[in-house]
Amino acid sequence: MDGSSSPVSAFKSRGGVARIFKALGYSLSGLAAAFRFESAFRQELLLIAVVVGLALVAKLPAIEWVMLVLSMGFVLVTELLNSALEAVVDRVSLERHPLSGRAKDIASAAVLISMGCLAFTFIVLVLPRLAVVLGLLK
């Protein structure tokens, strides 16, 4: 299949340097929309702010910061994808349908897994160092 018969969206970018700036604008609009319309996204940002604050107190080494930041990014990415999927499903139909529910539940499960990964990273990397800094452990 050579793809020549595939329809091309009128919204599809044609490329070039201008595309990079347009893509950045779309991405920033997406982040603003997530912040404005998605309470879970705002709650996760608040959670991340707390995690960062505690990690600063714990004085993590650079490699552990990398792992922590990747875990936090994983949470935000999965939440953004979950929110996007929910918006598309709701755009298609607001009627209850088992497949719509399944799609939303599976996307929500992805967020749960990412939150579990962040919790694990926090427990393994931050809590022990935080306990030492606070004098709870020697």
> Residue 74 falls within a domain, yes or no?
yes
pLDDT digits (tens, 9 = 90+) for 96-118: 999 999 999 999 999 999 999 99
> Residue 14 falls within a domain, yes or no?
no
Q: What is the CATH number of the domain that holds 74?
A: 1.10.287.3610
Is-catalytic flag, 44?
Answer: no
- Number of structural domains (the chain) is 1
* Domain residue limits at 114: 38-133
> Residue 52 falls within a domain, yes or no?
yes
Catalytic one of 38, 44, 79, 86: 79
pLDDT digits (tens, 9 = 90+) for 27-66: 999 999 999 999 999 999 999 999 999 999 999 999 999 9
Alpha carbon of residue 54 to chain centroid: 20
> Residue 54 falls within a domain, yes or no?
yes
> Residue 92 falls within a domain, yes or no?
yes
> Residue 70 falls within a domain, yes or no?
yes
> Residue 11 falls within a domain, yes or no?
no
pTM of the model: 0.86
Those residues with Cβ within 8 angstroms of residue 130's Cβ, 6 or more apart along the chain or in another chain: 54, 57, 58
